Amino acid sequence: MKKVYGSAAEALDGVLFDGMTIAAGGFGLCGIPELLLEAIKQAGTKDLTFASNNAGVDDFGIGILLQTKQVKKMMSSYVGENAEFMRQYLSGELELEFNPQGTLAERMRAGGCGIPGFYTKTGVGTQIAEGKEVKEFDGEEYILERGIFADLSIVKAWKADETGNLVFRKTARNFNPPAAMCGKVCVVEVEEIVPTGSLDPDHIHLPGVYVHRLIQGEHEKRIEKVTTRPREEA
Which structural domains are found in the chain, ordered by start? 8-115+149-216 (3.40.1080.10)
Using CA atoms, how far residue 200 sits from 4, 19, 180, 212, in Å, is 20, 39, 21, 21
pLDDT of 191: 96
pLDDT of 165: 97
pLDDT of 93: 93
Is residue 156 within 8 A of residue 179, CB to CB? The reply is no
pLDDT of 105: 96
pLDDT of 125: 93
Is residue 61 within 8 A of residue 26, CB to CB? The reply is yes
pTM for this predicted structure: 0.91
Q: Which residues of the chain have pLDDT under 50?
A: none
